[in-house]
Amino acid sequence: MSRQQKDRSKRYQTLLKVHISDEELGRVRTAPQSDMTLVNDRFKEDIEMLTGMFRL
């Protein structure tokens, strides 16, 4: 395994050690199906204002 592969593997292992709440995990799972992004409300409002598009 190359150094880059080892580094990537280590980062993934570290990522998987972080606890994710059931609520957050549910949001991650349903976001692609509902075409919703996982960003905060302020970011969504800024994008809506800049693009003139609003999500109901």
Q: What is the pLDDT of residue 4?
A: 92
Q: Which domain holds residue 7?
A: 3-51
Rounded CA separation 46/23 (Å): 25
* Structure confidence at residue 12 as a pLDDT band (50, 70, 90): confident
Could you report the per-residue pLDDT of 14-49, keeping only the tens digit for each?
A: 877 777 788 888 887 787 776 666 677 787 788 788
Q: What is the pLDDT of residue 37?
A: 65
CB count in 10 Å sphere of residue 42: 8
Query: Is residue 8 included in any domain, yes or no?
Result: yes
Bin 35: left if φ > 0, else alpha if -120 < ψ < 50, else beta.
Answer: left
Count how many residues are written for the chain.
Answer: 56
Q: What is the pLDDT of residue 20?
A: 78
Q: What is the pLDDT of residue 38?
A: 63
Query: Is residue 56 included in any domain, yes or no?
Result: no
Domain count, the chain: 1
Q: What is the pLDDT of residue 42?
A: 82
